[in-house]
């Protein structure tokens, strides 16, 4: 079960309790646990597998009672108590409760009218079949709620959010009365998909900030203004919240709104123990009641005797404890990457030639790269190899590794013969078809490829396409084991809709000692600068340079990744 499915189940139980008029504290407990699971960065099912019932209590909001139920859920596939509570209500009713403004009573009424899930509600409003059956007032509320719900679930890929934030920050900081501006929240933590954009602004005069924003070229309109906040909607419909504070408390502002929520909760309770309280205005010494405004965010952690956790890992998954112990890892940085070893050219589905891609890689400062076109069966492999060799022979200051990205077939094979594979220096294997096979079969395919002596590693290991499809299911434990056994790597693919391995699996892989590479999977010159997003995923997975093979210089990379140089 995914975290979201578990959270949804707990929310359904909470809703059923409330419809039955049961104890309010129970309801709050279930909602709190659902919250915690939704925001958890580790997979709850895996956590249970490794650490059992006790491990579940690491998730904020899960206490003994709920841990017992979840333990039963994972062991038997259901919870007798939940079944008992939920049996009186149709299943779809609980999905209706996700719509803002729809409470249990309204949901029940809708079910009686034959609207039994979210899609049903959407249709009933669209084809107006619900009109006349509910009051006009309720109809309006449903329409607004549905719109709000859809907006809320509208997320965008990180690069799009970054691009918009860059435009806004660049525009803001041109004004003399704006001293600083920075993105906040999940954007600053480099989460792969982003909802709203939040931006901090250091300025003494919010009125001037507002007036300045009116000329922002991508502005739709300013929706709301508060004492310290402005809410905008951009021309493309995306919401942006601007938080304004004077420069003297700017550090507190960005710390507060970088989050995550769970990071801040734990940090605040730690601060309290040390006699401080935290807010977006600064850090207050509780005894003397003096508020110390903080200009530089690092100062807050420093005052608490901690290292500053990089924003990417502020998820309350151990970073606060590590920062207190002065044991935060030094995370891999973009500048550590020495070569991009997954790129495509016009030999397969890429837009640029071998030399164009190589020149671009050189301009980005790489000393080596691999060109890994798809293994199209009708490709003239020898001609392609010869062309790359010729490029290398003319000594252009970058070594192009002659690679291939080979499909792992549905029936556990590789798309081209071993003879063809062996003529190449470097083979990435990946799954591009039959994603819907069961977990066992997918695992077998991945392990088969890892075991294959000519395969160097697996590209985009989960096959997920963000905002489109979740990855295929695999037994990652077994995949990691195979990586270690055969000394193969897994890729972190930087392509914006992939970001694959996902950060949670990255952390597990790194913890087990699995080696990784970070690549762009470029199909165009312009894609080659996407590397930073893969590095962001690596950082969110607590990865140091040591785990990343393409942070090595060429000779070491060749050795550690088992590249078979032809000459
Ligand atoms: Zn691929
Ligand atoms: Zn590719």
Q: How far is Cα 271 from Cα 255, in angstroms, rounded to an integer?
A: 14
- Which residues is 193 bridged to in the sheet? 157
Query: Do the domain assignments include residue 329?
Result: no
For residue 41, the CA-to-ligand 2 centroid distance in Å is 27
pLDDT at 101: 83
End-of-domain residue from the set 215, 245, 275: 245
- Rounded distance from Cα 189 to ligand 2 centre (Å): 26
Quick check: is 36 in a domain?
A: yes
Could you tell me if 19 and 76 lie in one domain? yes
Residues 6+ positions from 44 with CB-CB distance below 8 Å:
1, 3, 6, 37, 56, 59, 70
- In this prediction, residue 150 carries a pLDDT of 67
C-alpha of residue 404 to centroid of ligand 2, in Å: 9
Please identify which residue in the block is written with the tokens 């695999």.
Answer: 474
Question: Three-state SS for 253?
Answer: helix
What DSSP string runs through 155-194?
Answer: -EEHHHHHHHHHHHHHHHTTSTT--EEEE-HHHHTT-SEE
- What's the pLDDT at 145? 86
Distance 100 CA to ligand 1 centre (A): 39
Q: Are residues 78 and 57 part of one domain?
A: yes
Question: Which ligand has the nearest atom to the CA of 349?
Answer: 2
455 and 532 in one domain?
Answer: yes
Asked which of 210, 245, 280 is the last residue of a domain, the reply is: 245
Residues 45 and 87 in one domain: yes
**Is residue 531 in a domain?**
yes
Going from the Cα of 406 to the center of ligand 2, the distance in angstroms, rounded, reads: 9
Domain span at 42: 3-153
Centroid of ligand 1 to alpha carbon of 334 (angstroms): 22
| 357 C-alpha to ligand 2 centroid (Å) | 14
Q: How far is the CA of 405 from the centre of ligand 1 (A)?
A: 7
Mean pLDDT, the chain cut into blocks of 10 residues (567 residues total) = 85 88 85 84 83 90 93 93 88 82 86 83 83 89 81 77 95 96 97 93 96 93 93 87 96 96 95 95 93 94 97 97 98 98 95 96 97 94 97 93 97 95 98 88 97 98 83 93 98 95 96 98 94 98 98 98 93
Copy the structure tokens of residue 427: 């083979």
Specify the pLDDT at position 429. 98
What pLDDT does residue 316 have? 95
Q: How many distinct structural domains can be found in the chain?
A: 4
The CA distance from 425 to 324, in Å, is 46
* Judgement on whether residues 102 and 45 belong to the same structural domain of the protein: yes
Compute the distance from residue 499 Cα to the ligand 1 centre, in Å: 12
Q: Contact, 149 vs 98, CB < 8 A? A: yes
Whether residues 369 and 495 fall in one domain: yes
Residue 94 has a pLDDT of 84
Single out the residue in 113, 131, 153 at which a domain terminates: 153
CA distance 269 to 390: 63
The CATH number of residue 186's host domain is 3.30.460.10
Per-residue pLDDT at 551: 98
What pLDDT was estimated at residue 132? 86
Q: Check which CATH number belongs to the domain holding 50 and give it.
A: 1.10.150.110
CA of 332 to the centre of ligand 2 (A): 23
Please report whether residue 469 resides in a domain: yes
Ligand nearest to the CA of 408: 1
Is 567 among the domain residues?
no
Same domain, 114 and 178: no
Cα–chain center distance at 498:
10
Kindly state whether residues 314 and 349 are assigned to the same domain: no
Within 10 angstroms of residue 234's Cβ, the number of other Cβ atoms is: 17
Considering the domain boundaries, does residue 173 fall inside one?
Answer: yes
- Looking at the fold, whether 236 and 275 belong to one and the same domain comes out as no
pLDDT value at residue 202: 97
> Does the residue 504 lie in any domain?
yes
Closest ligand, as measured to the CA of 527 = 2
> Are residues 60 and 38 located together in one domain of the fold?
yes
What is the biggest distance separating any 2 CA atoms in the chain, rounded to whole angstroms? 79
- The CATH code of the domain that includes 547 is 3.20.20.140
Do 295 and 208 sit in the same domain of this protein?
A: no
pLDDT at 148: 73
Residue 251 belongs to a domain: no
Same domain? For 117 and 193 the reply is no
């Amino acid at each position: 079960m995914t975290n979201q499915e578990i959270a949804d189940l707990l929310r359904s139980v909470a809703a059923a309790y409330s419809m039955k008029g049961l104890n309010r504290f129970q309801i709050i407990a279930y909602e709190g646990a659902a919250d915690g699971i939704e925001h958890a960065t580790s997979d709850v099912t895996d956590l249970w597998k490794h650490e059992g019932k006790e491990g579940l209590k690491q998730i904020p909001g899960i206490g003994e009672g709920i841990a017992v139920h979840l333990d039963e859920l994972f062991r038997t596939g259901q919870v007798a108590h939940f079944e008992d509570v939920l049996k009186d209500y149709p299943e779809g009713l609980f999905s209706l409760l996700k719509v803002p403004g729809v409470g249990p009573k309204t949901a029940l009424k809708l079910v009686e009218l034959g609207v039994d899930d979210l899609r049903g509600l959407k249709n009933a409003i669209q084809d107006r079949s619900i009109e006349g059956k509910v009051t006009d007032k309720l109809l309006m509320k449903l329409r607004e709620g549905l719109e709000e719900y859809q907006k809320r679930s509208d997320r965008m890929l990180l690069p799009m959010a970054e691009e918009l934030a860059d435009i806004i920050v660049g525009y803001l900081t041109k004004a003399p009365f704006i001293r600083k501006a920075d993105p906040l929240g999940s954007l600053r933590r480099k989460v792969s998909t982003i909802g709203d954009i939040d931006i901090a602004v250091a300025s003494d005069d919010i009125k001037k900030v507002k007036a300045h924003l009116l000329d922002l070229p991508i502005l739709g309109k300013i929706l709301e203004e508060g004492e310290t906040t402005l809410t905008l909607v951009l021309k493309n419909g995306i919401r942006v919240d601007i938080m304004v504070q004077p420069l003297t408390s700017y550090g507190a502002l960005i710390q507060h709104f970088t989050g995550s929520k769970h990071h801040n909760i734990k940090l605040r309770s730690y601060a309290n123990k040390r006699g401080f309280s935290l807010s977006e205005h600064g850090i207050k010494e509780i005894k003397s009641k003096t508020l110390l405004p903080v200009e530089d965010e690092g100062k807050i952690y420093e005052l608490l005797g901690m290292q500053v956790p990089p924003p990417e890992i502020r998820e309350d998954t151990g970073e606060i404890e590590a920062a207190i112990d002065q044991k935060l890892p030094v995370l891999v940085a973009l500048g550590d990457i020495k070569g991009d070893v997954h790129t495509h050219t016009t030999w397969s589905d890429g837009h640029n030639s071998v030399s164009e891609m190589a020149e671009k890689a050189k301009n980005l400062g790489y000393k080596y790269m691999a060109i890994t076109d798809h293994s199209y069966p009708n490709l003239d492999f020898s001609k392609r190899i010869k062309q790359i060799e010729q490029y290398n022979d003319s000594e252009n200051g970058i070594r192009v590794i002659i690679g291939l990205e080979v499909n792992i077939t549905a029936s556990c094979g590789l798309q081209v013969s071993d003879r063809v594979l062996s003529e190449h220096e470097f083979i990435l294997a990946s799954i591009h078809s039959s994603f819907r096979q069961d977990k066992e079969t997918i695992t077998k395919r991945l392990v088969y490829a890892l075991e294959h002596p000519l395969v160097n590693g697996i590209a985009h290991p989960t096959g997920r396409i963000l905002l489109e499809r979740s990855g295929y299911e695999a037994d990652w434990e077994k995949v990691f084991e195979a990586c270690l056994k055969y000394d193969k790597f897994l890729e972190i693919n930087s392509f914006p809709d992939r970001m694959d391995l996902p950060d949670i699996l990255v952390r597990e892989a790194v913890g087990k000692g699995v080696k990784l590479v970070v690549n762009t999977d470029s199909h165009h010159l312009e894609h080659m600068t996407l590397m930073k997003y893969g590095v962001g995923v690596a950082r969110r997975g607590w990865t140091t340079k040591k785990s990343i093979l393409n942070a090595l210089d060429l000779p070491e990379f060749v050795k550690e990744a088992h590249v078979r140089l032809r000459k």
